[in-house]
Structure 1
């Protein structure tokens, strides 16, 4: 038997869907306008910049970017064309590849980061109280931890 959402749950669900979609669109617009890259590319560059030796196995990068292997491969190909990433064969498994952030890729990320952070602040954190930020973090962590299992 289906447990339908009650009125409060339905309202919260629809607000969550709308808010996340609008936030993602705002971040994508800002990055396209100011840095010439979509939000997806930015998140790939961030993941690589935080990885040891700025390198990550493609399968791990896909998981970190919350992307399918094929979508990630397409994005990495575009980033390779820009000279921001290069692929290297995995020495232990010749079928696998690593994505490696290049110096130009790191520079593009460093140039894009201030505008991106400002947009995140403007669109999210500046409109919330510190208590709301704590609640948002708790809620998101709960959902994320449940879904990542």
Structure 2
């Protein structure tokens, strides 16, 4: 904070009432982003409860379940769930220890491996998806009209694609 004070207030030792720019505080951009964060923060625990697996495991199983062949290169899967490769390796170790995924070597690149959804993983994912979809329908889609859902999907895709 001292660095910030010195940059903004060269005379930081002198007491000056500092005004925060009210226009910036009340900018529509700040409000819109705040609403987005608040909605996500409230929804996430509601739609991820009672899944039978931890949230991070669910994200991995979901990515594998939605991928043709139910397999992804470990590096691609780590990126898809926003983990560093080291952090993802530890996460994959725990999921694999529970028998939900297995690793298979990449025949084209001996340095790489695939994460593959096991039959046990498919059962866990099926249970989690049944619960998850019910929660999504209750907490996300039910309060929205079909038109609102279409707008929301377009907006979220636009934001995702613009920041890829």
**TM-score using structure 2 length:** 0.79
> 2:83 matched to 1:64?
no
Tell me the distance in 2 between the aligned counterparts of 1:106 and 1:123. 25
Structure having the higher helix fraction is: 1
Indicate the RMSD between aligned Cα atoms, in angstroms: 1.8
**Cα distance, 1:97 vs structure 2:** 1.1
Structure 1: stretches of 5+ with no match in the other structure: none
Asked if the contact 2:74/2:115 (under 8 Å) is kept, the reply is: yes
**Cα distance, 1:5 vs structure 2:** 6.6
> 2:104 matched to 1:84?
no
Asked if the contact 2:48/2:132 (under 8 Å) is kept, the reply is: no
State the SS of the aligned residue for 1:94. strand
Residue of structure 1 in register with 2:48 after alignment: 28
**Cα distance, 1:66 vs structure 2:** 2.7
The counterpart of 1:122, out of the listed 138, 141, 159, is 138
Deviations 1:40-75 (A, max 9, x none): 211211211222321110011112223222232222
Tell me the distance in 1 between the aligned counterparts of 2:49 and 2:128. 13
Residue of structure 2 in register with 1:10 after alignment: 30
**TM-score using structure 1 length:** 0.86
Structure 2: stretches of 5+ with no match in the other structure: 1-23
- Give the aligned length: 142
Name the stretch that deviates more: 137-146 or 21-30.
Answer: 21-30
